[in-house]
Amino acid sequence: MTIRPNLPDAWFELACAHELAGHDDDAQAAYSKAGDLAPREGGPVENHLHFVQRLASWFERQDPATWSNPAPAGGKPSPVSRHVFLLGYPRSGTTLTEADLAFLRDDESLDKLIRLDPALAEQMRAAYWARVRAEVPDFEGKTFVDMAPLNGIKLPMIARLFPQALVVLCRRDPRDVVLSCFRRNFTVNASTYQFTSLDSTARHYDAVMRLMEKHLQVLPLPVHVVDYASLIAGFDATTRALTEFVGVPWSGEMRDFSRTAAERDIRTASAPQVRQGLFDGTRQWLAYREQMESVLPALERWVVKFGYEL
């Protein structure tokens, strides 16, 4: 029997080894090689950058007055006491799968959000909560956090289906975000395929941020921003502000989140870091300043807007 190595994974492991040894140029080259060898996009799956651009083009054509007032929730009462969408970049979840198929396939399906049929809305909410129940059987009556950062590109749909939901937006230095996505060995799908090169990651990040900016200017959703650097510098103050926004009591036990994380099944790429405690990942991009030179112009708008130093 011949065992064929997974070449992208092998190059990724080599990149990590170079990084630990302080060989930044060699690490960057190995990360790039891993991206080059990642499975190609193709078939019926829409290129995720094109998907984001299509959503942006549709939203720009809409009358802002259409979204000035939240749509009535209607239907059955929410099974949770508080519903929070944790958004930002880079990972997306699957809890809105049925609604994605109903509303985001093309412009015609997106137009259904303008005058949302109550029966269809209730059907999509029921499908959403059924998927949640399959993952978290005891969620009812509690504060439920849907952690799917890339769902920020779907905020019009969220605003229509869950007008009482709260939005928590996580922000971090865009240069660190893009570098971190590029350096992670994600399972390849339509969105993570964008992270196979620094250039495509930066272009995707810029497109997502532009779309979310348009959404947040128009949609009547309550939004609270959590800045990563502020969280590192002042954990208690930042988490107190967050819990006040969500409407849950703050506790000093929140400082010991790594212990709680160790007892749970965490499926994100950052799980090892979460279990180690508060990780300071600020300004990591500086070690790769030369390699990132070509993508910095695409990120400058967001570096400035989010208050980071050029």
Place of tokens 């996580």: 170
62 and 215 Cβ atoms separated by less than 8 Å: no
Q: Measured between alpha carbons, how far is 117 from 155 in angstroms, rounded to an integer? A: 18
Please state, for a pLDDT cut of 70, what percent of the chain lies above it.
Answer: 75
Helix (H) or strand (E) segment spanning residue 171 = strand 166-171
Tell me the chain's radius of gyration from C-alpha atoms. Answer: 20
Helix (H) or strand (E) segment spanning residue 59 = helix 48-60
pLDDT digits (tens, 9 = 90+) for 192-216: 889 989 999 999 999 999 999 999 9
pLDDT digits (tens, 9 = 90+) for 294-305: 999 999 999 999
What phi and psi, each to the nearest 5 degrees, are found at residue 87? Answer: -120, 170
**pTM (whole model) above 0.85:** no
Residue 94, pLDDT > 80, answer no
Residue 7, pLDDT > 80, answer no
| Average pLDDT value for residue range 208-229 | 95
Q: Measured between alpha carbons, how far is 92 from 166 in angstroms, rounded to an integer? A: 18
Mean pLDDT computed over every residue of the chain: 83
pLDDT digits (tens, 9 = 90+) for 36-85: 555 555 445 689 999 999 999 999 999 999 888 766 556 788 999 999 99
